[in-house]
Amino acid sequence: MALDRDRAVAITGTVWKEVNIMVSQHSRNRALIQTVDEWVAADLTRRDFVRRMSALGGGAVFGGALANHLLSRDAAASPRGVALFQDDPPAAPGGTVVAATIDKPVNMDPAFAELYSSMQVYQNIFNKLVYVDADYNYIPGLASSWNQVDEVTWDFTLVENAVFHNDEPFTANDVAFTIERIFDPALAAPNAVFLQAIDRVETDGDYNVRFILKRPWGSFLADLAAVLEVVNETAVTTLDPRLEPIGTGPFRMTEWVKDDHITLERWDKYHVAERPFLDSVIFRAIADDTVRLTGLQTDEMQWVMQVPLQQVEALKGDAEIKVTVGRPYLPDFLYLNCSKPPFDDKRVRQALAWALNRDEVTQVAFFGQAETATEAIYDGNPYYSGINLYEGGPDPEGAMALLAEAGVEGLSFVFDGQPQVPTQVKAAQVLQQQLRAAGITMDIQNYESGEWITRLLTKEYTATISYWSATLDPAHFYLPGLLSTSGWNISGFGSPEMDEALNAFATEPDEATRKEAYRRVVEIVQEEAPIIAIDNQLQQYWVRANVYGMTPLPTMEIRFEPVY
């Protein structure tokens, strides 16, 4: 809603009191979603709905984002003046939202996807051909419709009224140029790895494109929805796309004050009728959870990505702010360097898997704001397998037996930590205590982020914990992460069996067969244990009580188009 622009740029801070609450969210979130579904289906009276929501502690989300699986892009397409939910006010244009993210954006060129903090901004500047909603349905973007002609051919019909922020009309040529550019060896775009199945793009007039794939590829639509923002040739060849992004999106960038804020303003020629609602969005990178919370409580910020995890449950009773229902979209894995001792032995890796207590990690390190995980996706993803070869763990005695079988006595190793990521260090400390029960010593050595990632990529590390933010389709995680020829394979593990399973999963076009192929991938990963799933962090956003229309999405995009 409306906020004075001068005031919107100001940030203040204060001291908060720590509240130590550790409550698991899994069952509560499921109950909330079921309650909302029954309400929307008219299976509950208003009185029963309010009573049940109150009992579940859902009052903080009642006025706005009741359940993020309903606040999808489909909801955003509702006519202006129609509330997203019965108790929401009618959507109306105007106002500024100050959005507090965590890290500083560095590069607005979508071919590079350089830091999630950059993506959070530029995904409001550019458009994709297709999007995915909170229920994993593919929905129109710059493509109004699409059709799979055969296993390697896809046709897309494009919208005819999209305009770039430099006033050039969007056409099929822009799609072709975007693909050609992303595969240009001179550009060396990191996102090319996610689009590797594409052989070429053919245009048919201004508003029809055909994608020809090199081979069948099961995640093709997911690839487009995850990483393909369409760029303008004139803009990227005459401006610096890292600093001056020109898209067709709902907002255009008008100001970037380095290390302070980025201002986006409403694009009046946006192709979706009466969108966006907001006049502007101001992104500020606020590293400190406490400062973000204070800004939200004082209305100097209207949207924040994260608050102190210790205070989450207590804050849900604050009438001035509200939070979306959390979705576990961000997996954390224990990475083991399989290219050198001691983790070049599968039995030693399995010993760590048996010693791990996931419940304890989610409660102590995340204060219940994460769910335990045994694979990269959660049970709401259509491909979820539910496989757990270590069911019944933790088993310290079983871990010690595996170490004895491997001939390893007094196992000791060093964990690479990042103090800039407090949850990682806290999870490592919990793991450290758990491993002691199996006679394993793990020392923690902290590094600055730049050195930490360098040690991972050069395989100097022995063990660490890291997350992966691209899990719309599980191929986005497992294929680059475990294929023996991939530059992203930081575990150093590789085997013909793993490569065969990964390729079978990636290339299978039939969904049912592909799900079975995915199960085989999970089984091999758990058996070989080069990486060990720990948890899936809940993605949930905090807003002022008068802000509506925001929802977490499987792509982890922050879409301000439907917000008012």
In sequence order, the 6+-apart residues with CB closer than 8 A to the CB of 311 are 16, 18, 19, 21, 293
Residues 8-28: what's their mean pLDDT?
33
- 252: CB partners within 8 A, 6+ apart: 125, 165, 246, 264, 265, 267
For 255-296, the DSSP string reads EEETTTEEEEEE-TT-SSTT----SEEEEEE---HHHHHHHH
Residue 40 has pLDDT above 70, yes or no: no
Domain 5-23+60-107+249-325 has CATH 3.20.20.70: no
pLDDT at 420: 77
Whole-number percent of the chain with pLDDT over 70: 85
User: What was the pLDDT predicted at 48?
Assistant: 52
pLDDT of residue 77: 34
**Cα distances (Å, whole numbers) of residue 291 to 191, 206, 308, 351, 465:** 33, 48, 10, 41, 26
Evaluate whether 130 touches 115 at the Cβ level (below 8 Å).
Answer: no
CA distance 96 to 263: 10
Return the pLDDT at 61. Answer: 33
For residue 469, the model assigns a pLDDT of 77
Q: Give me the pLDDT at residue 465, please.
A: 97
Distance CA 405, CA 393 (A): 19
The whole-angstrom separation of Cα 407 and Cα 65 is 55
CA-nearest of 138, 526, 433, 101 to 296 is 101
Average pLDDT along the chain: 86
Angle (CA) 307 124 378, round 5°: 55
Q: What share of the chain is helix, strand, coil (3-state, %, to 5)?
A: 30, 20, 50
Q: What is the mean pLDDT of residues 219-237?
A: 97
Peptide bond between residue 382 and the one before it cis (omega within 30 degrees of 0) = no
How much is the pLDDT for 419? 86
Please write the tens of the pLDDT for every residue from 156-166: 999 999 999 99
For the purposes of burial, counting CB atoms within 10 Å of the CB of 358, is it exposed (0-12), middle (13-18) or buried (19 or more)? buried
| Ranges in the chain annotated CATH 3.10.105.10 | 328-539
The reported pLDDT for the residue numbered 31 is: 53
Summarize pLDDT for 22-37 with one digit per residue, the tens: 333 344 444 554 554 4
Q: 64-90: per-residue pLDDT in tens?
A: 333 333 333 333 333 223 334 446 788
pLDDT at 190: 83
pLDDT value for 34: 52
Considering the chain, tell me which residue range(s) the CATH 3.90.76.10 domain(s) occupy.
Answer: 126-238
> Tell me, what's the pLDDT at 450?
79
CATH code of the domain occupying 328-539: 3.10.105.10
pLDDT value of position 18 = 30
Residue 25 has a pLDDT of 39
- The pairing of strands 280-285 and 96-101 is parallel
The pLDDT score that the predictor gives to residue 232 is 98
The residues near 405 (Cβ < 8 Å, ≥ 6 apart) are: 347
Look at the alpha carbons of 71, 120, 540, 316 in this order and tell me if their dihedral is positive or negative: negative
pTM (2 d.p.): 0.78
Homologous superfamily of domain range 126-238 = Dipeptide-binding Protein; Domain 1 (3.90.76.10)
What mean pLDDT comes out for the span 173-202?
Answer: 94
Q: List, for residues 109-134, the tens digit of each pLDDT value.
A: 999 988 788 999 999 999 999 999 99
- Stretch(es) of the chain classified as CATH 3.40.190.10: 5-23+60-107+249-325
Average pLDDT over residues 368-392: 96
Per residue in 297-348, pLDDT tens? 999 999 999 899 999 989 988 999 999 878 899 999 999 999 999 999 999 9
Q: Of residues 14 and 432, which shows the higher confidence score?
A: 432
